[in-house]
Every structure is written in C-alpha cells, then in structure tokens.
Structure 1
Amino acid sequence: MNRTQNIERIKTEEFDICIIGAGASGAGCALDAALRGLKVALIEKNDFAAETSSKSTKLIHGGVRYLEQAFKNLDFGQLRQVRHGLEERHIVIKNAPHLAHPLALITPVYSWLEGMYFTIGLTIYGFFAKNDTMPKAQWLSKKQTFERIPTLTPKLHSSVMYYDGQLDDARYCLAIAHSADNQGVAVVNHAEVVNFGKDATGKIISAEVKDLSGNSSLTIKSKLFINCTGPFADSIRLLANPALEKRLRPSKGVHMMLPADVLKSADAMLIPKTKDGRVVFVIPFEGEVMVGTTDDEYKNLKKEPVLESQEIDFLLDTLRPYLAKVPDRSAIKSGFGGLRPLIASSGSKATKKLVRDHEVEHDHTSNLISLLGGKWTTYRLMAKDTIDGACQLLGIDKPCTTERHYLIGGENYQFEEWKNMAKEYQLDADICQHLLQKYGTQARMVLKHSSKERLHPKYPFIEAEVIYTVKEEMACTLRDFFARRIRMELLDWQATYDTIPKVADLMSEQLDWTESQKQSNISEYQKLLKGFMKSAEITQ
C-alpha cells in the first residue's frame, strides 16, 4: 500500500464511491465494491482498525448470550443475530486462515442440572451454523476439564465445551484494507473528512479532507459517499445533514491482559454469569490471557476509552469463583477499552440488552449512506448489504463475491511452512510461527528486509517488521506499529514502553523524520502509555 500514490489519486481522480472509515465494515465495503468493478476510495481519520475494530474480544461468533436472551425474552432480533454470526463464522476463517482459527471454549458448571442446561443451549447454538466444520458441543467430566484447563477451581462439577472462532482483529481489518488496495481502491489512513461539498439540490458531491500525516488539505470527488465510522457515525451524519436525529448509543467494553499461567491452556473459558448479567471470556491471545468484557454506556466520544481501576476489580472478582488462584493486580500486563456502535432503541434498555444488529441508512436529503451498528463477525454481510444499496442508487447490477475471496496472505497458506523458514533463515521457531500467523504467505516478504533481530527479548517481533509495515502496510506512527501491526501494546505496556526508542529509530529512517519529530513521537507515545498505566493504577 503506497500512501503517497493514493493521496495523489484522491486529488486528481473522481470516484464512484468514497468510503469514510476504515474499520472492518468500511474496509469490507471498499473490497466488496472494488470486486464489483466500482472505482473506490477509502479514507480513515486515524489508522486502520484504530477504534472499535482493534478492541474486540477477538472472537468470531454468533453470541451465546444473544441466544439465551432470544429464548428467555422471546426477542427474535437476537436470534437473527446469532444465525447471521454463525453463518458468517466459517467464511471469516476460510478467507484468512493465517489470521483466524477455531477455538475451544470451556464453560465450568457446578451441578448436573447446570451442565444439562448449557449442553442443550450450546447444542442449539451449533444447530444454527450452516456449512459448519466446527466440532459439536460436548459435556466434559471433571477429570477431562482439568486435563484441558488445570488452573480451574476444584469445586467445579464438570464443564461444557463448544467451539467458536478467534481472530487477530486489527490485522484482519488491515488485510481487508490491503486486499482492497490490491483491487485498485485508493486507500489512505490519517486523513479526516472535515466538510462536504454539495450540488444545487443539497446532494453531496465532494468532501474536504485534511491529511493529518502530511498536514495539508485536499478535496475528494465521488458520486456517492458511505459513512462507516462506527460509534462516531452520528458526527458524519450530522455533518452531511444537521437536521438528522442521532441514532447511536455507544457502550464501552474493556479487557485486561494477564500472564499465560492463569490458564496454562490453549483453550478459552466462558464465564456465563456476572454481577451485571453479562458473560466474560478468558482467552489465550498471543501468548498472554485476555479477560473481558464489560458493558457500560459511554458518552464522551472525544476521549479514548481506557481500562480503569474499578473495571479491573470487577473482572478479577468475576474470575474468583472459577480459578483455584486468582492473580494479583500486579500480574496485569496491559489492557484496553473499546466502543460498541449500538443503535439506540425507542425504550430505555441497558446497553447490554441492545441488539447488535446493523442497519443501512440512506439520507435522501444529502444522499449519504450510513452503515450503523453491527459487530465484527458479520462485517462481510454488513458490507454486502451496504454495497447492494449503493449499487441500487448508482443503477449498477453486480453481485457480491467476497464470500469466496481470499484476503492477502490467505490463499495457499500452510502454517507448517514455518519449519522451512526456520531452516532457510536460521531463525527461532517462535519468530517464524509469528510471521506466518501475522503475514501468511507474505511472511517471506518481511524477511527480505535485512534485520532479523528481536525488538524485545520476550517477544517474537523483529526489526524487519518495522521496515515492512512502513513500506507495505502504511504504518505512519509508533502507535500504528505497536498497537495494530504487531499488537505489542495490547500485550505488555512496559515492554512496549521500553522498545519505543528502537522502533522510533527504524521508523524515522523510513519516514524521514527529523530528530525533533522523532523525539516528539517518542515522548507523545510514552506519555500515552504512562496514562494507561495510571488509569488502571498499575505500576510496572
């Protein structure tokens, strides 16, 4: 992906569709539209997946809690969500097998009756999955449970195991955007829409864009504009037409990261009951254990949601009945907060009860299309519905083909190739496995860059990734790299903090930063990480 060339295209070309927002849904719309033969631009105020799409629970699922709500409350909107999620699950895994895979989830139970309840529920859950290759749910004895997760409390009776999918959300979103770029989409990050230009009838015909990386302004012309800005969609809707009413009710969810020995397992755990009526997942991710999530209404959209001390207390208390030994706060390595783009209901439901469905809205006054709501698992379906609507407005009849389109790095992917790479490049196994799982068949492209040294002794990330992600994946800032290219910010705040100067030196060479710019970037990012630690009341 060449940002400079794409900026020039935006300045000089006219597009059929301009998509605002490059999270999963926006990138998904861009790829879908390009595969239908449309001329497309995709612009993002921050970085690919910088907001909601990099801050999920990393699961591809229908939502077991939604299924329970559907039957308990006769809420068939929730049931539709489950069905859509499970139908899309196998497509998400199939199209990028290096970034997504099946994951076993263990639900501990404390009585025979509870075990029967969850077995029946999870069997129904699996029933909704079409074209599914996942193993069926099964009831495990106490002995079988401890063989899979040895750190659970001895008080449990048994457990129920089922399968969902797991993905690296930020890199999956990047793969969608990168694949769109490969199909001819003019993809640009760090570019903010600040105003719209309109014709005599009030229809949008252009957008004024501020290039936040180059500190300049430009105008993009397009027949149609699509708003895919997730929890921030109301701001674009009102920029296009101030008479519109707000539609979204964002909610905040947080996760914290703990060491791997909390589970000592490749399987995840589902905690089915919390004090606020949610479920919590305890999931192996990148060699650590991720615990989350919460669900609280969030109104200050100008402030990034972060993991806070009282949320840590809630999650640790939630773990207490399920683990033989609950870790101390000092064991927490990092955490993150994200926003869900929930569509407001007419009543006063709590955010955790709002349906995670999506809606494609067309404002006839401005001609803006807005994709509202939704969740990660159904990003492709959301994009399909949106581009179907766009094609109708443009008078084009072309079908969606994303169901069978491999994302970059996915076609002919073989994980076992790491063994050949280890011999060929004389690299440690963990480094080669990491490269295969993040870049797929592009892994050798990373290794073309000379430096194979580790960025940090505890992690498999190498210096060549810095150069590759700047040149090929449009990494423009230190946080682009640490938070979304290699995910180190999610795993370990202190290790990230300590590695910043080394990465800054490498990025500076590629991006021609002055010494002053480099030092400014370093201090700004280090200050951000210290702020995260302070909010969580974690000292490292």
Structure 2
Amino acid sequence: MNRQKNWERLRQEEFDICIIGAGASGAGAALDAVLRGYSVALIDRSDFAGETSSRSTKLIHGGVRYLEQAIKKLDLAQLRQVRHGLAERRTVIRNAPHLAHPLAILTPVFSWFEGMYMTVGLTLYDFIAGHDAFPKGSWLNRAQALEKSPKLTQQMHSAVLYYDGQFNDARYALALAHSADEAGAAVVNYAAVTDFSREKGQLKTATVEDQLTGETVTIRASVFLNCTGPYADSIRLLANSELSPRIRPSKGVHIVLPRETLQSDYAILIPKTTDGRVVFAIPFGDKVFVGTTDNDYNDLAKEPVLESDEVDYLLETVRPYLAKVPVRADVQSGFGGIRPLIVSSRADTKTLLRDHEIEQDEASGLLSLLGGKWTTYRLMAQDAIDRVGEVLKKTVPGRTETHYLIGGEGYRFEDWETLQRQYSLPADVCQQLMKTYGSRAEQVAKLIVSQPELAQKLTDQQPYIRAEVIYQVREEMAVTLRDVLARRWRLELADWQLTAQITPQVADLMAAELNWSDAYRQEQVHNYQRLLTSFAKQAGIPSGQKKTVVTE
C-alpha cells in the first residue's frame, strides 16, 4: 500500500463509493465493493482498526450469551444473531487461516445441575453450527478438565468444553484493507472527513484533512458510506444536523496477565458474574487476556482506557475459577474499546442488540452501517454494498465468501521450516512470521538478504525482528510508532513496559524509512512512552513495578 500514491488518487479520481472508517465493517465493505467492480475510496481518521476493531476479545463466535437470552426470552432476533455468527465463523477462518483458528474453551461448573445446564446449551450451540470443521463440545469430569487446564480451581465439580474461533483482530482488518488496495481501492489512513458539500441537499463531495500534514483534499463520490462504528453519529450529524443519535456507546476493557496464569492453550468462559455478564480468560501468544466489561461510555473524544476499579472487577471475577489467584502486580497491560450498540428502548447495554442496520438518510443521501460485531463483519459489509448498488442502480452480487485475504491463499504453517532453512532465522521468528504475514512471510525474510542486520530481534523476550518494521512501513502503510507496536504487532496490548523499552529502536528504523528529523523522532518516542505511562497510572499499575509470578 502506497499512501502518497493513494492520496493523489483521492484528489484526481471520482469514485462510486467513498467509505468513511477502516475498521472491520469499513475495510470489509471496501473489499466487497471493489471485488464487485465499483470504484472505491476507503479513508480513516486514524489507522486501520485504530479504534474498536483492534480492541476486541479476539473471538469469532456465534455468542453463547445471545443463545441463552434467545431461549430464556424466546427472542428470535437473538437466535438469528447466533445462527449468523456461527455460519460466518467458518468463513472468517477459511479466508485468512494465518490470522484465525479454532479455540478450545472450558466452562468450569460447581454442581451437577450447572454442568447439565451448560452441556444442553452448548450442545444446541453445536447443533446450530451444523457440520462445520469445528470439534464438538463435551462434558469433562474434574480430572479431565485439570489435565487440559491445570491452573483451574480444585473446587469445581466439572467443566464443559466447547469450541469457538480466535483471531488477530487488528491484522485481520489490515488484511481486509490491504486486500482492497490490491484489488484497486484507494486506501488512505489518517485522513479525516471535516465537511461535506451538497447539491440539492444530497452529498456530492467530502473535504478530507491529512492528519499527518494538515493538507486537504476534496473527494468526489456518488455514494458516501459511514462505517465509523461508535463514532457514526458524528458523521451522520455532519451530513445532516437534524438527525437524532442512533448509537449508544458501551465500553469494554481487558486486563493482560502472564501466560502462567492459565498455563494452557484452553480458554476459560466465566458464564456468570456478579452483574450478569460473561467474562473470558483467553490465551493469546504468551499472555492471557481477561475481559470484558460492559458499561455506558459518553466521552467519545477520549480514548477508552483501563481504569483501576475495572482491574479490581476483572481480578475478582476470575478469582473463584483459578487455584492460584492473580493479583494487581501481575497485570502487565490492558486495553479498552467501545461497542457501537444501536439505540433501543431497552435500558441496559448488556441487553441491547448488536445486530446491524443499514440506514439511508433521504435528506443527504448518506448511508450508515450501524451496530454489528466482528464475527459478522462480512455479512454487514455485504448488506451495505447491496444497498449501495441499489442507490447506484448498478447491482452486482458479492464475492467475498470465498475470497482469500492477503497472506491467506496457499498458507501452510509448516512452511516456517522452509523459511528457517533458506534464511537461517530462529524457529520462533519463522513461526511468528508465518502467523503474522501468512504466505507473504518470505517477503519479510527477503529483506535480510541485502541488509543482514535486519535479522536481529528487537528484544530477546519476543520473536520480532527489525525487517518487520521496514516491511510494515513499505507495504502496510505504518506511519506512527503505535501503528507498529499496537496493531501491526500487538505488543502494546500485551506488555506496556516492554513496549516502552523497544520504542526507541522502532523509531530509529521508521525514521530512516520515513525521513523523520531527529527532533521529530525524539518527540514521537517521548510522546508514546508518556502515553504508555499514563495507561499504567490510570489502571493503578505503576509502570516501573517489578513483574511478579502468579501467587496464592
């Protein structure tokens, strides 16, 4: 992806569709649209998946909680969400097998009745999923459960095993945007819509400001599609100030603990919390993510961050399920995201529907894709582009169901051994390259042929090498430190201290590629490290504290 070339395309071309927002739904819509033959511009005021789409629980699921609510309340809308989610689960993994895979999840229970209740529900979950490639669940006795997850509490009666999907959300969204770019879309990050022009009330152009340089450009498009998730109302009101808000933002946070917290490849579902939520503890790389919460969030101008009381809540929630209880000092980082819940008459965000809706404002012509969730991003995008086709009076069927994303086609994880033989890189580096870049991993490895120093790891604690930063700048439109450390890699989400330590090295590599001045490089390092310190402070986790192991 070439940002400057695409910026010039925004200036020079007229598009069928301008998609605002490059998270899951926007990037998915861009790929869907360009594969149908439409001319497409995709812009975002920050990075690809810079907001909510990079801060999920990393699960691809039908929604166990939705199923329970559907049965208890005879709610067909909830049941439809489960069915759609389970159908799409298979497609999400199939199209990017390097970024998504099945995940085994254990639900500890404390009585025979509770075990039977969960078994019946999860058997129905498997039945709705049909004959897909996912293993079927089972009810395990305590010894069997402890064999799979040895850190679970001895107090449990048994555990119910089922399977859902796990994925790297930020890189999945990047793969969607990158795939759209290669198919012909003009894709630009850090490009914010500041105004619209109209003709007889209908939107004709958008004024877009480059958030890095301050330069502006006017985008001409037949249709403008708003895919900004929890921020959708700001674009809707910019297009038509008479509209009523449709989004009720809900904040969800996660804490990140050492892998030793579970010492297992099996995730844990905590089906019942003090306030009726569902919480997961999920292995992700060498960490465990625990979340999420669900609370109203009103200050959209501020980034949602992990707060001290939220740390306490999540630690307290996992306490009954583990033999050795993690403490505050074990928390290595955390992150927050905002769900784009559609406004409903229901009072509680935990019960608001997360299904999606395509809204068309007759006065301005703006289309808005509202609500939804990661698992069904492709269906959301398909519905939105179907509506775009109707507006354009040029309908074309979608083609995304069997379209491999960047790095997905021809992917075989075992090819890491070939990389190791050809480029003499460590095994953990080669495995990480395959899981991150898929069948394009060799493009990263090739960079070390002419510059052997790029084979060096940035830290002994992680398998990241210098060549990746160069590749991410040249091929993946990374332009800030956070693009690399929080999204192209997931280090910011995993370990604030380690991220701060390697930030100067990453800055040196980016500065050489992007022609940063020394003063600008120093400013970027200082600002990012200060941001990481503020995250730790707000979470009540001193950034300089010594890491501890999980204790009794």
Give the TM-score, by structure 1 length: 0.99
Query: In structure 2, the residue corresponding to 1:303 is in which secondary structure?
Result: coil
Q: Aligned partners of 1:214 and 1:510: how far apart in 2? A: 17
Q: Aligned partners of 1:6 and 1:532: how far apart in 2? A: 34
1:236-273 deviation digits (Å, cap 9, x = unpaired): 00000000000000000000110011101011010111
Query: One-letter code of the match for 1:476?
Result: V
The reply on whether 1:398 has 2:396 as its aligned counterpart is: yes
How far the C-alpha of 1:75 sits from its partner, in A, is 2.1
Query: In structure 1, the residue corresponding to 2:463 is in which secondary structure?
Result: coil
The reply on whether 1:116 has 2:116 as its aligned counterpart is: yes
1:45 corresponds in structure 2 to 45
**Structure 1 residues 444-463: aligned runs within 5 Å:** 444-450=442-448, 451-463=454-466
Tell me if structure 2 keeps the 8 A contact 1:90–1:131.
Answer: no
Q: Aligned partners of 1:448 and 1:428: how far apart in 2? A: 15
The reply on whether 1:79 has 2:79 as its aligned counterpart is: yes
Query: In structure 2, the residue corresponding to 1:390 is in which secondary structure?
Result: helix
Query: One-letter code of the match for 1:508?
Result: A
2:548 corresponds in structure 1 to none
Tell me if structure 2 keeps the 8 A contact 1:60–1:165.
Answer: yes
Tell me if structure 2 keeps the 8 A contact 1:257–1:291.
Answer: yes
Unpaired segments of 5 or more residues in structure 1? none
State the identity as a percent: 60
Query: In structure 2, the residue corresponding to 1:171 is in which secondary structure?
Result: helix
How far the C-alpha of 1:397 sits from its partner, in A, is 2.1
Q: Aligned partners of 2:97 and 2:426: how far apart in 1? A: 22
Q: Aligned partners of 1:350 and 1:429: how far apart in 2? A: 48
**Structure 1 residues 117-196: aligned runs within 5 Å:** 117-196=117-196
The reply on whether 1:339 has 2:342 as its aligned counterpart is: no
How far the C-alpha of 1:444 sits from its partner, in A, is 0.6
Q: Aligned partners of 2:112 and 2:417: how far apart in 1? A: 45
Q: Aligned partners of 1:216 and 1:499: how far apart in 2? A: 31
1:502 corresponds in structure 2 to 505
Q: Aligned partners of 2:190 and 2:131: how far apart in 1? A: 39
Query: In structure 1, the residue corresponding to 2:321 is in which secondary structure?
Result: coil
User: Bigger CA drift: 418-427 or 492-501?
Assistant: 418-427
1:486 corresponds in structure 2 to 489
Q: Aligned partners of 2:39 and 2:295: how far apart in 1? A: 40
Q: Aligned partners of 2:11 and 2:359: how far apart in 1? A: 28
1:376 corresponds in structure 2 to 374
Query: In structure 2, the residue corresponding to 1:404 is in which secondary structure?
Result: coil
1:15 corresponds in structure 2 to 15
2:58 corresponds in structure 1 to 58
Unpaired segments of 5 or more residues in structure 2? 449-453, 546-552
How far the C-alpha of 1:104 sits from its partner, in A, is 0.3
How far the C-alpha of 1:131 sits from its partner, in A, is 4.8
**Structure 1 residues 237-386: aligned runs within 5 Å:** 237-347=236-346, 349-386=347-384
Query: In structure 1, the residue corresponding to 2:136 is in which secondary structure?
Result: coil
Q: Aligned partners of 2:8 and 2:317: how far apart in 1? A: 52
How far the C-alpha of 1:376 sits from its partner, in A, is 0.2
2:431 corresponds in structure 1 to 433
Query: One-letter code of the match for 1:321?
Result: P
Q: Aligned partners of 2:473 and 2:498: how far apart in 1? A: 21
1:448-502 deviation digits (Å, cap 9, x = unpaired): 2220111111001111111000000000100011000011101100000010111
Q: Aligned partners of 2:185 and 2:108: how far apart in 1? A: 47
Give the TM-score, by structure 2 length: 0.97
The reply on whether 1:535 has 2:538 as its aligned counterpart is: yes
How many residue pairs match? The answer is 538
Q: Aligned partners of 2:516 and 2:240: how far apart in 1? A: 39
Q: Aligned partners of 2:17 and 2:285: how far apart in 1? A: 37
Q: Aligned partners of 1:129 and 1:368: how far apart in 2? A: 36
Q: Aligned partners of 1:129 and 1:250: how far apart in 2? A: 30
Tell me if structure 2 keeps the 8 A contact 1:87–1:131.
Answer: no
Query: In structure 2, the residue corresponding to 1:325 is in which secondary structure?
Result: coil
Q: Aligned partners of 1:140 and 1:245: how far apart in 2? A: 50
1:511 corresponds in structure 2 to 514
Query: In structure 1, the residue corresponding to 2:196 is in which secondary structure?
Result: strand
2:479 corresponds in structure 1 to 476
Query: In structure 2, the residue corresponding to 1:321 is in which secondary structure?
Result: helix
1:193-225 deviation digits (Å, cap 9, x = unpaired): 0000111x1100100000112221111100110
Q: Aligned partners of 1:453 and 1:214: how far apart in 2? A: 32
Q: Aligned partners of 2:139 and 2:310: how far apart in 1? A: 32
Q: Aligned partners of 2:130 and 2:363: how far apart in 1? A: 40
Q: Aligned partners of 1:52 and 1:512: how far apart in 2? A: 30
1:421-453 deviation digits (Å, cap 9, x = unpaired): 122212111111111001001101111222011
